Amino acid sequence: MQTEKGQSIEDASMEMIEKEIGSHNYNEKEWPIVRRIIHSTADFDFADKNRIIFSAGAIESGINALKNGCSIVVDVNGVIGGLNKQNPRDFGNNIICNISSPEVMELAKKQGKTRSQVSMRYASSDIDGGIVAIGNAPTALLEVISMVKEGITKPALIIGIPVGFICAPESKEELSKLSEVPFITNIGRKGGSSSASAIINALYKLLRADLAS
C-alpha cells in the first residue's frame, strides 16, 4: 500500500498536472485515466484533444471486468512492474505475461513470428473476457485484433498503447477501427509500458471510487 509520504507526493503531482493543463476535453471518467498517464510519463501531450481514444463503454467494461476477477494479459513484464500490486490481490485478478515462456519462444521460432505475437495466441483463453494491455509490441496488438476478428477471443477491454516507430501508429489506428470490443488507445508513436500500467491503475482507482460511493 501507498505510504503517507508517497501519497502526499502523488497528490502534489496530480495537483501540479491539474494546474498546468487547465481546461481539457475529457469527461469525468476519462480524465483520471489521462491524468495518470501524464503522471507516469511527464508527457503533457497526452492531454491534447483526442490524443487518447476511448471507445463507447470502454471504461465501464474494464471496471466491471476487474471487479469480477478477470485476468489481465500483458505483452511485457514492464507493464507488470508499473502496477500497484495490491489491486489485483484485492480483486483476484491474475496477471499473465508469456513473453519469456519457453513454449512461446519455441513456437515463435517455428512460425517465424515475434514472441509477442505468439504470446497473445498462447493466452487466448485468458484474454477471453479479460483485459489485454499492450504497451510495447505493436505486433502483439495486431495479433489480438486478428484474434478478435477471427472469433478466437473476445476481451472485455483492449488497452493498446504500444510505443515505437515501426507499426506502432498503424496498429493503434487499426484498433481504433475495431467495433467488436471496447478499447483504449492513443494516436501516434507515443505510449509504452508505463502508460499501459497507468491505465490499469487508474481503472482500479475508479473501481474503488465506485464501490465507495
Q: pLDDT tens-digit profile of 129-187?
A: 999 999 999 999 999 999 999 999 999 999 999 999 999 999 999 999 999 999 999 99
Position 213 confidence tier, pLDDT thresholds 50, 70, 90: confident
For 103-115, the pLDDT digits (tens) are 999 999 999 999 9
The pLDDT, as a whole number, for residue 133 is 98
Rounded Cα distance between 145 and 141, Å, is 6
Q: Which three cell numbers stand for residue 195?
A: 502508460
The pLDDT, as a whole number, for residue 66 is 98
Reference 199, options 68, 91, 87, 48; nearest CA is 87
Percentage of residues in the chain with pLDDT exceeding 90? 85
pLDDT at residue 48 above 90? no
For 68-92, the pLDDT digits (tens) are 999 999 999 999 999 999 999 999 9
The pLDDT, as a whole number, for residue 6 is 65
Query: 63: buried, middle or exposed (CB in 10 Å: 19+, 13-18, 0-12)?
Result: buried
Strands 183-186, 157-160: pairing is: parallel
Q: Among residues 34, 36, 38, 39, which one is catalytic?
A: 39
The pLDDT, as a whole number, for residue 11 is 84
The pLDDT, as a whole number, for residue 1 is 58
Position 208 confidence tier, pLDDT thresholds 50, 70, 90: very high
Position 51 confidence tier, pLDDT thresholds 50, 70, 90: confident
The pLDDT, as a whole number, for residue 50 is 67
39 is catalytic: yes
State the average pLDDT over residues 8-30.
88
Q: What is the DSSP letter of 46?
A: G
Do the beta carbons of residue 98 and residue 122 sit within 8 Å?
yes
The pLDDT, as a whole number, for residue 13 is 86
For 189-200, the pLDDT digits (tens) are 999 999 999 999
Q: What is the DSSP letter of 60?
A: H
Sheet bearing 52-54, strands edge to edge: 52-54, 183-186, 157-160, 131-134, 72-74, 95-96
Rounded Cα distance between 186 and 179, Å, is 16
Q: Mapped to the 3 state alphabet, what secondary structure does 2-65 carry? A: CCHHHHHHHHHHHHHHHHHHCCCCCCCCHHHHHHHHHHHHCCHHHHCCCCEEECCCHHHHHHHH
Which of helix, strand or coil describes residue 140? helix
Domains present along the chain, CATH in parentheses = 52-212 (3.40.50.10230)
